[in-house]
Chain A
Protein backbone atom coordinates (compact mmCIF):
# COMPACT_ATOMS: atom_id res chain seq x y z
CA UNK A 1 0.00 0.00 0.00
CA UNK A 2 1.16 3.51 -0.73
CA UNK A 3 -0.26 6.25 1.42
CA UNK A 4 0.43 9.80 0.29
CA UNK A 5 -0.82 13.01 1.79
CA UNK A 6 0.39 16.36 0.55
CA UNK A 7 -1.05 19.81 0.91
CA UNK A 8 0.62 22.60 -0.99
CA UNK A 9 -0.83 25.91 -1.85
CA UNK A 10 0.76 28.85 -3.49
CA UNK A 11 -0.69 31.48 -5.77
CA UNK A 12 -1.97 29.90 -8.94
CA UNK A 13 -1.39 26.35 -7.80
CA UNK A 14 -2.66 24.02 -5.14
CA UNK A 15 -2.21 20.35 -4.45
CA UNK A 16 -4.36 18.76 -1.81
CA UNK A 17 -4.07 15.01 -1.96
CA UNK A 18 -4.68 12.23 0.52
CA UNK A 19 -4.69 8.91 -1.22
CA UNK A 20 -4.02 5.23 -0.77
CA UNK A 21 -2.83 3.28 -3.76
CA UNK A 22 -2.11 -0.38 -4.30
CA UNK A 23 1.63 -1.07 -4.18
CA UNK A 24 1.43 -3.38 -7.15
CA UNK A 25 0.68 -3.16 -10.82
CA UNK A 26 0.56 0.10 -12.74
CA UNK A 27 -1.30 3.04 -11.26
CA UNK A 28 -1.94 5.88 -13.66
CA UNK A 29 -2.17 9.44 -12.41
CA UNK A 30 -4.33 10.98 -15.08
CA UNK A 31 -5.46 14.54 -15.54
CA UNK A 32 -5.13 17.63 -17.71
CA UNK A 33 -1.95 19.69 -17.57
CA UNK A 34 -1.86 21.81 -14.45
CA UNK A 35 -3.77 19.24 -12.44
CA UNK A 36 -0.75 18.58 -10.23
CA UNK A 37 0.25 15.13 -11.50
CA UNK A 38 3.91 15.93 -11.92
CA UNK A 39 4.12 17.85 -8.66
CA UNK A 40 2.58 14.91 -6.87
CA UNK A 41 5.13 12.58 -8.41
CA UNK A 42 7.97 14.93 -7.44
CA UNK A 43 6.67 15.04 -3.87
CA UNK A 44 6.68 11.25 -3.78
CA UNK A 45 10.24 11.21 -5.09
CA UNK A 46 11.31 13.80 -2.52
CA UNK A 47 12.35 16.24 -5.24
CA UNK A 48 9.82 18.69 -3.79
CA UNK A 49 9.84 19.09 -0.06
CA UNK A 50 6.39 19.75 1.35
CA UNK A 51 6.30 20.32 5.07
CA UNK A 52 3.58 18.43 6.84
CA UNK A 53 3.40 15.83 4.09
CA UNK A 54 3.04 12.14 4.72
CA UNK A 55 4.33 9.32 2.57
CA UNK A 56 4.42 5.64 3.38
CA UNK A 57 5.40 3.09 0.82
CA UNK A 58 4.78 -0.55 1.77
CA UNK A 59 5.14 0.10 5.51
CA UNK A 60 8.27 2.20 5.08
CA UNK A 61 7.99 5.81 6.10
CA UNK A 62 9.54 8.12 3.48
CA UNK A 63 8.10 11.27 4.97
CA UNK A 64 6.20 11.97 8.15
CA UNK A 65 6.39 14.90 10.53
CA UNK A 66 10.04 15.91 10.82
CA UNK A 67 11.23 12.82 9.04
CA UNK A 68 12.14 13.35 5.41
CA UNK A 69 14.10 10.74 3.53
CA UNK A 70 16.36 12.42 0.96
CA UNK A 71 15.65 11.40 -2.63
CA UNK A 72 18.84 9.39 -2.95
CA UNK A 73 17.89 7.33 0.09
CA UNK A 74 14.49 6.38 -1.32
CA UNK A 75 14.45 3.04 -3.13
CA UNK A 76 12.71 4.46 -6.19
CA UNK A 77 13.26 4.76 -9.89
CA UNK A 78 12.27 7.92 -11.75
CA UNK A 79 11.79 8.27 -15.47
CA UNK A 80 11.46 11.87 -16.59
CA UNK A 81 9.65 13.20 -19.62
CA UNK A 82 12.95 13.69 -21.43
CA UNK A 83 15.37 10.81 -21.05
CA UNK A 84 17.98 12.98 -19.23
CA UNK A 85 20.84 10.63 -19.99
CA UNK A 86 24.17 11.89 -18.69
CA UNK A 87 25.88 13.26 -21.81
CA UNK A 88 29.38 12.63 -20.45
CA UNK A 89 28.81 8.92 -19.90
CA UNK A 90 28.50 6.06 -22.38
CA UNK A 91 25.25 4.16 -22.62
CA UNK A 92 26.67 1.39 -20.47
CA UNK A 93 27.91 3.81 -17.81
CA UNK A 94 24.54 5.53 -17.84
CA UNK A 95 22.82 2.21 -17.24
CA UNK A 96 25.23 1.33 -14.47
CA UNK A 97 25.12 4.72 -12.76
CA UNK A 98 22.50 3.83 -10.16
CA UNK A 99 23.37 0.12 -10.16
CA UNK A 100 26.87 0.91 -8.88
CA UNK A 101 25.42 2.93 -6.06
CA UNK A 102 23.39 0.21 -4.42
CA UNK A 103 24.71 -2.64 -2.31
CA UNK A 104 25.39 -5.86 -4.20
CA UNK A 105 22.82 -7.64 -2.06
CA UNK A 106 20.13 -5.18 -3.20
CA UNK A 107 20.74 -5.77 -6.90
CA UNK A 108 17.63 -7.74 -7.74
CA UNK A 109 17.52 -6.53 -11.34
CA UNK A 110 20.53 -7.53 -13.43
CA UNK A 111 22.06 -5.75 -16.41
CA UNK A 112 21.51 -8.73 -18.76
CA UNK A 113 17.87 -8.86 -17.75
CA UNK A 114 17.34 -5.18 -18.53
CA UNK A 115 19.19 -5.43 -21.84
CA UNK A 116 16.91 -8.28 -22.84
CA UNK A 117 13.73 -6.70 -21.53
CA UNK A 118 14.26 -3.34 -23.23
CA UNK A 119 16.09 -4.56 -26.32
CA UNK A 120 19.26 -2.66 -25.51
CA UNK A 121 21.85 -5.04 -26.96
CA UNK A 122 22.35 -2.83 -30.03
CA UNK A 123 22.75 0.27 -27.86
CA UNK A 124 24.82 -0.84 -24.91
CA UNK A 125 28.18 -0.24 -26.58
CA UNK A 126 27.37 3.19 -27.95
CA UNK A 127 29.61 5.83 -26.47
CA UNK A 128 27.65 8.98 -27.09
CA UNK A 129 24.10 8.90 -25.76
CA UNK A 130 23.20 11.92 -27.91
CA UNK A 131 23.58 9.69 -30.98
CA UNK A 132 20.54 7.69 -29.87
CA UNK A 133 17.03 8.37 -31.12
CA UNK A 134 14.45 9.76 -28.71
CA UNK A 135 12.83 6.38 -28.22
CA UNK A 136 16.16 4.66 -27.70
CA UNK A 137 17.23 7.24 -25.14
CA UNK A 138 14.02 6.77 -23.21
CA UNK A 139 14.51 2.99 -23.21
CA UNK A 140 17.99 3.46 -21.76
CA UNK A 141 16.59 5.85 -19.16
CA UNK A 142 13.97 3.29 -18.16
CA UNK A 143 16.64 0.60 -17.94
CA UNK A 144 18.84 2.87 -15.86
CA UNK A 145 16.00 3.43 -13.39
CA UNK A 146 15.16 -0.29 -13.26
CA UNK A 147 18.76 -1.19 -12.49
CA UNK A 148 18.49 0.48 -9.09
CA UNK A 149 16.04 -2.34 -8.25
CA UNK A 150 13.44 0.18 -7.12
CA UNK A 151 10.57 -0.79 -4.89
CA UNK A 152 8.54 1.89 -6.67
CA UNK A 153 8.95 3.13 -10.24
CA UNK A 154 7.79 6.67 -10.97
CA UNK A 155 7.22 7.59 -14.60
CA UNK A 156 6.43 11.16 -15.55
CA UNK A 157 4.86 11.13 -19.00
CA UNK A 158 7.72 9.06 -20.37
CA UNK A 159 6.22 9.00 -23.86
CA UNK A 160 4.93 12.53 -24.23
CA UNK A 161 8.16 13.96 -25.67
CA UNK A 162 8.28 11.26 -28.34
CA UNK A 163 6.78 11.14 -31.81
CA UNK A 164 4.03 8.62 -32.57
CA UNK A 165 6.43 6.07 -34.05
CA UNK A 166 8.74 6.12 -31.03
CA UNK A 167 5.73 5.81 -28.77
CA UNK A 168 4.61 2.68 -30.57
CA UNK A 169 8.18 1.44 -30.32
CA UNK A 170 8.29 1.83 -26.53
CA UNK A 171 4.79 0.78 -25.51
CA UNK A 172 5.40 -2.97 -25.99
CA UNK A 173 8.47 -2.67 -23.75
CA UNK A 174 6.43 -0.97 -21.06
CA UNK A 175 3.87 -3.74 -21.26
CA UNK A 176 6.57 -6.37 -20.87
CA UNK A 177 7.93 -4.51 -17.90
CA UNK A 178 4.53 -4.77 -16.34
CA UNK A 179 4.37 -8.49 -17.05
CA UNK A 180 7.88 -9.51 -16.12
CA UNK A 181 8.97 -7.37 -13.19
CA UNK A 182 7.07 -7.18 -9.98
CA UNK A 183 7.68 -3.48 -9.45
CA UNK A 184 4.76 -1.17 -8.71
CA UNK A 185 4.62 1.75 -11.12
CA UNK A 186 3.11 5.22 -10.75
CA UNK A 187 2.56 6.44 -14.27
CA UNK A 188 1.71 10.08 -14.96
CA UNK A 189 -0.04 10.72 -18.23
CA UNK A 190 -2.57 12.88 -19.96
CA UNK A 191 -3.08 10.45 -22.84
CA UNK A 192 -6.08 8.22 -22.28
CA UNK A 193 -4.91 5.66 -24.81
CA UNK A 194 -1.63 5.08 -22.96
CA UNK A 195 -3.44 4.81 -19.66
CA UNK A 196 -6.01 2.36 -21.02
CA UNK A 197 -3.21 0.26 -22.38
CA UNK A 198 -0.89 0.18 -19.40
CA UNK A 199 -2.69 0.90 -16.17
CA UNK A 200 -4.47 -1.38 -13.72
CA UNK A 201 -5.49 1.34 -11.35
CA UNK A 202 -6.49 4.86 -12.22
CA UNK A 203 -6.31 8.06 -10.20
CA UNK A 204 -7.98 11.09 -11.73
CA UNK A 205 -6.61 14.46 -10.76
CA UNK A 206 -8.15 17.83 -11.38
CA UNK A 207 -6.91 21.18 -10.05
CA UNK A 208 -4.67 19.46 -7.53
CA UNK A 209 -7.33 17.17 -6.12
CA UNK A 210 -8.10 13.50 -6.54
CA UNK A 211 -11.57 13.29 -8.04
CA UNK A 212 -11.65 9.52 -8.50
CA UNK A 213 -9.53 6.50 -7.78
CA UNK A 214 -10.28 2.89 -8.63
CA UNK A 215 -9.53 0.03 -10.98
CA UNK A 216 -9.03 1.06 -14.57
CA UNK A 217 -12.14 -0.57 -16.05
CA UNK A 218 -14.33 0.62 -13.19
CA UNK A 219 -13.14 4.21 -13.38
CA UNK A 220 -13.20 4.46 -17.16
CA UNK A 221 -16.77 3.20 -17.26
CA UNK A 222 -18.13 5.93 -14.99
CA UNK A 223 -20.16 8.62 -16.69
CA UNK A 224 -19.81 11.18 -13.92
CA UNK A 225 -16.07 11.67 -14.46
CA UNK A 226 -14.31 13.95 -16.94
CA UNK A 227 -12.87 10.89 -18.72
CA UNK A 228 -16.37 10.12 -20.00
CA UNK A 229 -16.47 13.45 -21.83
CA UNK A 230 -13.27 12.87 -23.76
CA UNK A 231 -13.58 12.20 -27.44
CA UNK A 232 -11.89 8.84 -27.03
CA UNK A 233 -13.88 7.82 -23.95
CA UNK A 234 -14.57 4.13 -23.82
CA UNK A 235 -14.63 0.91 -21.85
CA UNK A 236 -11.75 -1.46 -21.30
CA UNK A 237 -12.46 -5.17 -21.55
CA UNK A 238 -10.18 -7.84 -20.15
CA UNK A 239 -10.68 -10.82 -22.40
CA UNK A 240 -9.18 -14.14 -23.36
CA UNK A 241 -8.27 -15.25 -26.87
CA UNK A 242 -10.75 -18.06 -27.62
CA UNK A 243 -10.56 -19.26 -31.23
CA UNK A 244 -9.19 -18.10 -34.55
CA UNK A 245 -11.29 -18.19 -37.68
CA UNK A 246 -8.57 -18.83 -40.22
CA UNK A 247 -10.88 -18.60 -43.23
CA UNK A 248 -12.01 -15.05 -42.46
CA UNK A 249 -8.91 -14.05 -40.56
CA UNK A 250 -10.76 -13.23 -37.37
CA UNK A 251 -10.26 -14.01 -33.68
CA UNK A 252 -12.92 -14.41 -31.02
CA UNK A 253 -12.24 -12.86 -27.64
CA UNK A 254 -14.23 -14.17 -24.71
CA UNK A 255 -14.98 -12.19 -21.59
CA UNK A 256 -17.29 -12.91 -18.72
CA UNK A 257 -20.74 -12.87 -20.24
CA UNK A 258 -19.95 -12.39 -23.89
CA UNK A 259 -17.54 -12.44 -26.76
CA UNK A 260 -16.26 -10.15 -29.49
CA UNK A 261 -14.80 -10.87 -32.90
CA UNK A 262 -11.73 -8.88 -33.85
CA UNK A 263 -9.23 -8.99 -36.70
CA UNK A 264 -7.03 -12.02 -36.24
CA UNK A 265 -4.40 -11.57 -33.55
CA UNK A 266 -1.07 -13.27 -33.19
CA UNK A 267 -1.64 -14.50 -29.65
CA UNK A 268 -2.47 -18.16 -29.06
CA UNK A 269 -5.74 -19.32 -27.58
CA UNK A 270 -5.94 -18.71 -23.84
CA UNK A 271 -3.83 -15.53 -23.86
CA UNK A 272 -5.23 -12.73 -21.73
CA UNK A 273 -5.63 -9.53 -23.69
CA UNK A 274 -7.05 -6.10 -23.14
CA UNK A 275 -9.44 -4.56 -25.62
CA UNK A 276 -10.88 -1.11 -25.78
CA UNK A 277 -14.30 -0.23 -27.12
CA UNK A 278 -14.81 3.49 -27.67
CA UNK A 279 -18.20 4.95 -26.76
CA UNK A 280 -18.55 6.53 -30.19
CA UNK A 281 -18.21 3.07 -31.80
CA UNK A 282 -21.16 1.59 -29.93
CA UNK A 283 -24.69 2.12 -31.25
CA UNK A 284 -27.97 0.89 -29.82
CA UNK A 285 -30.81 -1.19 -31.23
CA UNK A 286 -33.96 -2.00 -29.29
CA UNK A 287 -34.55 -5.29 -31.14
CA UNK A 288 -32.08 -7.91 -32.39
CA UNK A 289 -30.70 -6.21 -35.50
CA UNK A 290 -31.11 -8.10 -38.77
CA UNK A 291 -29.35 -7.50 -42.00
CA UNK A 292 -26.49 -5.56 -40.47
CA UNK A 293 -22.83 -5.75 -41.32
CA UNK A 294 -21.90 -5.36 -37.71
CA UNK A 295 -20.46 -8.59 -36.33
CA UNK A 296 -20.42 -7.79 -32.65
CA UNK A 297 -23.82 -7.41 -31.14
CA UNK A 298 -24.22 -7.79 -27.38
CA UNK A 299 -27.38 -8.00 -25.32
CA UNK A 300 -27.04 -5.34 -22.64
CA UNK A 301 -29.04 -3.46 -20.06
CA UNK A 302 -28.95 0.32 -19.86
CA UNK A 303 -27.61 1.26 -16.45
CA UNK A 304 -27.40 5.00 -16.76
CA UNK A 305 -27.93 7.78 -19.29
CA UNK A 306 -26.28 11.18 -19.07
CA UNK A 307 -26.45 14.25 -21.25
CA UNK A 308 -23.26 14.95 -23.08
CA UNK A 309 -23.67 18.41 -24.55
CA UNK A 310 -26.69 19.71 -26.42
CA UNK A 311 -26.89 16.97 -29.04
CA UNK A 312 -25.46 13.85 -27.44
CA UNK A 313 -25.98 11.50 -24.56
CA UNK A 314 -23.70 8.89 -23.00
CA UNK A 315 -24.99 5.49 -22.02
CA UNK A 316 -23.57 3.09 -19.53
CA UNK A 317 -24.41 -0.47 -20.52
CA UNK A 318 -24.00 -3.74 -18.61
CA UNK A 319 -23.58 -7.02 -20.46
CA UNK A 320 -24.75 -10.29 -18.96
CA UNK A 321 -21.60 -11.01 -16.96
CA UNK A 322 -21.41 -7.49 -15.62
CA UNK A 323 -18.95 -6.17 -18.21
CA UNK A 324 -19.59 -2.47 -18.73
CA UNK A 325 -19.67 -0.77 -22.13
CA UNK A 326 -20.10 2.89 -22.93
CA UNK A 327 -22.07 4.24 -25.82
CA UNK A 328 -22.48 7.72 -27.18
CA UNK A 329 -25.54 8.45 -29.31
CA UNK A 330 -27.56 11.49 -30.27
CA UNK A 331 -30.19 12.84 -27.96
CA UNK A 332 -32.72 12.44 -30.74
CA UNK A 333 -32.01 8.71 -30.99
CA UNK A 334 -32.48 8.37 -27.28
CA UNK A 335 -35.88 10.03 -27.50
CA UNK A 336 -37.00 8.20 -30.67
CA UNK A 337 -36.06 4.84 -29.19
CA UNK A 338 -37.38 5.87 -25.78
CA UNK A 339 -34.27 4.69 -24.06
CA UNK A 340 -34.31 4.76 -20.28
CA UNK A 341 -32.25 3.21 -17.55
CA UNK A 342 -33.16 -0.41 -16.91
CA UNK A 343 -34.12 -1.14 -20.53
CA UNK A 344 -32.74 -4.28 -22.21
CA UNK A 345 -31.27 -3.38 -25.59
CA UNK A 346 -28.63 -4.51 -28.08
CA UNK A 347 -25.26 -2.85 -28.34
CA UNK A 348 -23.73 -2.90 -31.82
CA UNK A 349 -19.99 -2.64 -31.54
CA UNK A 350 -18.51 -1.24 -34.70
CA UNK A 351 -14.89 -1.44 -33.75
CA UNK A 352 -12.73 -3.06 -31.08
CA UNK A 353 -9.15 -2.04 -30.51
CA UNK A 354 -6.88 -4.64 -29.07
CA UNK A 355 -4.54 -2.64 -26.85
CA UNK A 356 -2.47 -5.26 -25.10
Chain B
Protein backbone atom coordinates (compact mmCIF):
# COMPACT_ATOMS: atom_id res chain seq x y z
CA UNK B 1 0.00 0.00 0.00
CA UNK B 2 1.45 3.31 -1.04
CA UNK B 3 1.07 6.03 1.48
CA UNK B 4 2.64 9.33 2.23
CA UNK B 5 1.58 11.96 4.70
CA UNK B 6 -0.26 14.83 3.09
CA UNK B 7 1.05 18.38 3.35
CA UNK B 8 -1.48 19.16 6.05
CA UNK B 9 -0.50 16.02 7.98
CA UNK B 10 3.14 17.05 7.86
CA UNK B 11 2.25 20.55 8.92
CA UNK B 12 0.33 19.14 11.89
CA UNK B 13 3.26 16.93 12.86
CA UNK B 14 5.67 19.85 12.62
CA UNK B 15 3.35 22.07 14.63
CA UNK B 16 2.96 19.41 17.31
CA UNK B 17 6.73 19.03 17.66
CA UNK B 18 7.19 22.77 17.82
CA UNK B 19 4.46 23.18 20.40
CA UNK B 20 5.73 20.34 22.60
CA UNK B 21 9.30 21.63 22.45
CA UNK B 22 8.42 25.20 23.33
CA UNK B 23 6.07 24.06 26.09
CA UNK B 24 8.63 21.66 27.57
CA UNK B 25 11.29 24.36 27.68
CA UNK B 26 8.94 26.84 29.32
CA UNK B 27 7.76 24.18 31.76
CA UNK B 28 11.30 23.35 32.83
CA UNK B 29 11.98 27.02 33.40
CA UNK B 30 8.94 27.71 35.53
CA UNK B 31 8.42 24.19 36.89
CA UNK B 32 11.88 23.91 38.42
CA UNK B 33 11.57 26.81 40.87
CA UNK B 34 8.01 25.75 41.76
CA UNK B 35 9.14 22.17 42.38
CA UNK B 36 12.14 23.36 44.40
CA UNK B 37 9.94 25.54 46.52
CA UNK B 38 7.38 22.75 47.06
CA UNK B 39 10.15 20.31 47.96
CA UNK B 40 11.95 22.56 50.44
CA UNK B 41 9.39 24.86 52.02
CA UNK B 42 7.72 24.30 55.35
CA UNK B 43 5.21 27.03 54.58
CA UNK B 44 1.67 26.27 55.75
CA UNK B 45 0.06 26.78 52.36
CA UNK B 46 2.43 24.40 50.66
CA UNK B 47 -0.38 21.81 50.55
CA UNK B 48 -2.73 24.23 48.82
CA UNK B 49 -0.07 25.18 46.29
CA UNK B 50 0.64 21.54 45.55
CA UNK B 51 -3.06 20.87 45.05
CA UNK B 52 -3.44 23.77 42.60
CA UNK B 53 -0.47 22.53 40.57
CA UNK B 54 -1.96 19.03 40.50
CA UNK B 55 -5.46 20.15 39.39
CA UNK B 56 -4.91 19.50 35.67
CA UNK B 57 -4.34 15.82 36.45
CA UNK B 58 -7.93 15.36 37.58
CA UNK B 59 -9.87 18.11 35.80
CA UNK B 60 -11.37 17.36 32.39
CA UNK B 61 -9.35 19.26 29.76
CA UNK B 62 -12.54 20.98 28.70
CA UNK B 63 -12.87 22.60 32.13
CA UNK B 64 -9.35 23.99 32.00
CA UNK B 65 -9.89 24.98 28.37
CA UNK B 66 -13.12 26.71 29.22
CA UNK B 67 -11.67 28.79 32.05
CA UNK B 68 -8.64 29.69 29.99
CA UNK B 69 -10.86 30.68 27.11
CA UNK B 70 -12.80 32.96 29.39
CA UNK B 71 -9.65 34.40 30.95
CA UNK B 72 -8.02 35.00 27.59
CA UNK B 73 -11.18 36.32 25.97
CA UNK B 74 -11.83 40.02 25.32
CA UNK B 75 -13.41 40.46 28.76
CA UNK B 76 -11.12 38.16 30.76
CA UNK B 77 -8.18 39.45 32.81
CA UNK B 78 -5.59 37.89 30.51
CA UNK B 79 -7.40 39.17 27.44
CA UNK B 80 -7.55 42.69 28.88
CA UNK B 81 -3.85 42.52 29.56
CA UNK B 82 -2.85 41.29 26.12
CA UNK B 83 -5.10 43.86 24.48
CA UNK B 84 -3.65 46.70 26.51
CA UNK B 85 -0.20 45.53 25.44
CA UNK B 86 -1.34 45.60 21.80
CA UNK B 87 -0.87 41.85 21.48
CA UNK B 88 -4.42 41.17 20.47
CA UNK B 89 -6.24 38.13 21.84
CA UNK B 90 -4.68 34.76 22.62
CA UNK B 91 -7.42 32.23 21.82
CA UNK B 92 -6.98 30.54 18.46
CA UNK B 93 -3.30 31.51 18.25
CA UNK B 94 -0.14 29.48 18.71
CA UNK B 95 0.83 31.62 21.73
CA UNK B 96 -2.53 30.91 23.36
CA UNK B 97 -2.03 27.23 22.74
CA UNK B 98 1.41 27.39 24.37
CA UNK B 99 0.04 29.06 27.50
CA UNK B 100 -2.82 26.59 27.79
CA UNK B 101 -0.49 23.63 27.30
CA UNK B 102 1.94 24.93 29.90
CA UNK B 103 -0.83 25.04 32.48
CA UNK B 104 -2.25 21.71 31.39
CA UNK B 105 1.10 19.87 31.55
CA UNK B 106 2.49 21.66 34.61
CA UNK B 107 1.94 18.84 37.12
CA UNK B 108 3.67 16.33 34.86
CA UNK B 109 6.83 18.39 35.09
CA UNK B 110 6.55 19.69 38.64
CA UNK B 111 5.82 16.39 40.37
CA UNK B 112 8.80 14.36 39.13
CA UNK B 113 11.05 17.33 39.82
CA UNK B 114 9.61 17.77 43.27
CA UNK B 115 10.18 14.08 44.05
CA UNK B 116 13.75 14.33 42.81
CA UNK B 117 14.44 17.44 44.87
CA UNK B 118 12.89 15.90 47.97
CA UNK B 119 15.22 12.93 47.61
CA UNK B 120 18.31 15.14 47.83
CA UNK B 121 19.65 14.92 51.36
CA UNK B 122 19.82 18.22 53.23
CA UNK B 123 23.37 17.21 54.11
CA UNK B 124 24.52 17.49 50.48
CA UNK B 125 23.38 21.11 50.33
CA UNK B 126 24.84 21.91 53.74
CA UNK B 127 28.14 20.42 52.64
CA UNK B 128 28.14 22.68 49.60
CA UNK B 129 27.46 25.67 51.82
CA UNK B 130 30.42 24.84 54.04
CA UNK B 131 32.49 24.72 50.85
CA UNK B 132 31.75 28.35 49.99
CA UNK B 133 28.85 27.71 47.63
CA UNK B 134 25.97 30.17 47.91
CA UNK B 135 22.42 28.78 47.88
CA UNK B 136 22.10 29.51 44.17
CA UNK B 137 25.50 28.02 43.43
CA UNK B 138 24.74 24.84 45.37
CA UNK B 139 21.40 24.57 43.56
CA UNK B 140 23.14 24.50 40.19
CA UNK B 141 26.25 22.58 41.20
CA UNK B 142 24.71 20.00 43.53
CA UNK B 143 20.91 19.91 43.48
CA UNK B 144 20.33 19.97 39.72
CA UNK B 145 22.97 17.34 38.88
CA UNK B 146 21.62 15.08 41.62
CA UNK B 147 18.07 15.59 40.32
CA UNK B 148 19.07 14.67 36.77
CA UNK B 149 16.88 11.55 36.53
CA UNK B 150 13.92 13.60 37.74
CA UNK B 151 14.74 16.31 35.23
CA UNK B 152 14.72 13.74 32.44
CA UNK B 153 11.42 12.26 33.62
CA UNK B 154 9.90 15.71 33.81
CA UNK B 155 11.03 16.62 30.28
CA UNK B 156 9.78 13.38 28.77
CA UNK B 157 6.44 13.51 30.54
CA UNK B 158 5.96 17.21 29.78
CA UNK B 159 6.76 16.70 26.11
CA UNK B 160 4.71 13.53 25.69
CA UNK B 161 1.75 14.91 27.57
CA UNK B 162 1.72 18.04 25.41
CA UNK B 163 1.87 15.93 22.24
CA UNK B 164 -1.04 13.87 23.52
CA UNK B 165 -3.41 16.65 24.49
CA UNK B 166 -6.63 17.19 22.62
CA UNK B 167 -9.38 18.73 24.68
CA UNK B 168 -7.56 21.87 25.70
CA UNK B 169 -6.32 22.39 22.14
CA UNK B 170 -9.82 22.18 20.80
CA UNK B 171 -11.13 24.66 23.35
CA UNK B 172 -8.33 27.21 23.04
CA UNK B 173 -6.73 26.63 19.70
CA UNK B 174 -9.54 25.52 17.52
CA UNK B 175 -8.47 24.03 14.26
CA UNK B 176 -6.40 26.48 12.24
CA UNK B 177 -3.96 24.78 9.83
CA UNK B 178 -0.32 25.62 10.58
CA UNK B 179 -1.26 27.55 13.68
CA UNK B 180 -3.23 25.39 16.03
CA UNK B 181 -4.02 22.22 14.14
CA UNK B 182 -1.87 19.65 15.93
CA UNK B 183 -1.74 15.92 15.19
CA UNK B 184 -4.46 14.90 17.63
CA UNK B 185 -6.87 17.39 16.06
CA UNK B 186 -5.82 16.37 12.57
CA UNK B 187 -6.68 12.75 13.36
CA UNK B 188 -10.06 13.86 14.61
CA UNK B 189 -10.62 15.73 11.35
CA UNK B 190 -9.66 12.69 9.29
CA UNK B 191 -12.10 10.54 11.18
CA UNK B 192 -14.84 13.13 10.82
CA UNK B 193 -14.17 13.15 7.08
CA UNK B 194 -14.13 9.32 7.01
CA UNK B 195 -10.49 9.37 5.83
CA UNK B 196 -9.63 6.27 7.80
CA UNK B 197 -6.37 5.50 5.98
CA UNK B 198 -4.87 8.86 6.94
CA UNK B 199 -6.28 8.54 10.44
CA UNK B 200 -4.66 5.11 10.71
CA UNK B 201 -1.25 6.32 9.62
CA UNK B 202 -1.21 9.34 11.87
CA UNK B 203 -2.53 7.34 14.82
CA UNK B 204 0.05 4.64 14.23
CA UNK B 205 2.76 7.31 14.09
CA UNK B 206 1.55 8.71 17.40
CA UNK B 207 1.40 5.25 18.94
CA UNK B 208 4.90 4.42 17.75
CA UNK B 209 6.25 7.76 18.94
CA UNK B 210 4.73 7.38 22.39
CA UNK B 211 5.94 3.82 22.71
CA UNK B 212 9.48 4.64 21.64
CA UNK B 213 9.67 7.59 24.01
CA UNK B 214 8.45 5.54 26.93
CA UNK B 215 10.65 2.59 25.95
CA UNK B 216 13.76 4.75 25.89
CA UNK B 217 12.68 6.33 29.10
CA UNK B 218 12.09 3.10 30.99
CA UNK B 219 15.23 1.50 29.58
CA UNK B 220 17.63 4.26 30.50
CA UNK B 221 15.97 5.70 33.53
CA UNK B 222 14.92 2.64 35.46
CA UNK B 223 16.51 2.76 38.87
CA UNK B 224 16.18 -0.98 39.43
CA UNK B 225 17.67 -2.57 42.49
CA UNK B 226 20.41 -0.29 43.79
CA UNK B 227 23.95 -1.56 43.78
Task: Mark A residues whose CB is within 8 Å of B.
Answer: 45, 47, 70-73, 76-78, 80, 82, 84, 86-88, 97-98, 101-102, 144-145, 148
Contacts and interface: CB of A to CB of B under 8 A. Distances in A.
10 contacts: A70-B129, A72-B132, A76-B130, A77-B130, A78-B126, A86-B128, A86-B146, A88-B142, A101-B132, A102-B132
B145 interface: yes
A148 B145 contact: no
Interface string B121-149: 00110111111111101100110011010
B59 to A, nearest CB: 37
Nearest to B129: A71
A82 B133 contact: no
A144 B138 CA distance: 16
Closest 10 CB pairs of A and B: A98-B131, A78-B130, A101-B132, A71-B129, A88-B145, A84-B127, A72-B129, A72-B132, A97-B131, A72-B134
Contact of A84 (B124, B134, B135, B148): B124
Contacts of B123: 80, 82, 84
Contact of A145 (B131, B141, B142): B131
A145 B134 CA distance: 16
Contacts of A77: 130
B130 A86 contact: no
Q: Which of A45, A87, A97, A148 has the most CB of B within 10 A?
A: A97
Contacts of A88: 142, 145-146, 148
B129 A47 contact: yes
Given A88-B145, A101-B137, A148 B127 contact: no
Nearest to B134: A72
A202 B141 CA distance: 37
Contacts of B138: 72
Given A47-B126, A82-B123, A84-B123, A148 B146 contact: no
A80 B127 contact: yes
Contacts of B130: 45, 47, 71-72, 76-78, 98, 145
A71 B137 CA distance: 13
A47 to B, nearest CB: 6
B133 A72 contact: yes
Given A72-B138, A86-B124, 18 more contacts: A47-B129, A47-B130, A71-B129, A72-B132, A77-B130, A78-B126, A78-B130, A80-B126, A80-B127, A84-B127, A87-B146, A88-B146, A88-B148, A98-B131, A98-B132, A101-B132, A145-B131, A148-B131
A145 B146 CA distance: 21
Nearest to A98: B131
A72 B142 CA distance: 14
A248 to B, nearest CB: 50
A73 B137 CA distance: 13
Nearest to A141: B127
Contacts of B146: 86-88
Contacts of B135: 72
A148 to B, nearest CB: 6
B145 A97 contact: no
Given A88-B145, A88-B146, A148 B124 contact: no
B128 A97 contact: yes
Contacts of B134: 70, 72
B119 to A, nearest CB: 12
Contacts of A87: 146
B121 to A, nearest CB: 8
A164 to B, nearest CB: 24
Nearest to A42: B126
B139 to A, nearest CB: 12
B82 to A, nearest CB: 41
The residue in B123, B130, B146 that gathers the most chain A C-beta atoms within 10 A of its C-beta is B130
A102 B132 CA distance: 7
A72 B145 CA distance: 20
Interface in B130-172: 130-135, 137-138, 141-142, 145-146, 148
Interface in B60-112: none
Contacts of B127: 78, 80, 84, 86
A145 B137 CA distance: 17
Nearest to B121: A84
Nearest to B131: A98
Contacts of B132: 72-73, 98, 101-102, 148
A101 B124 contact: no
A289 B190 CA distance: 111
A58 to B, nearest CB: 18
Contact of A144 (B131, B141, B142, B145): B131
Contacts of A80: 123, 126-127
Contact of A86 (B126, B129, B142): B142
A263 B137 CA distance: 53
A148 B133 CA distance: 11
A71 B133 CA distance: 9
Contacts of B131: 72, 97-98, 101, 144-145, 148
Nearest to A130: B227
A70 B137 CA distance: 13
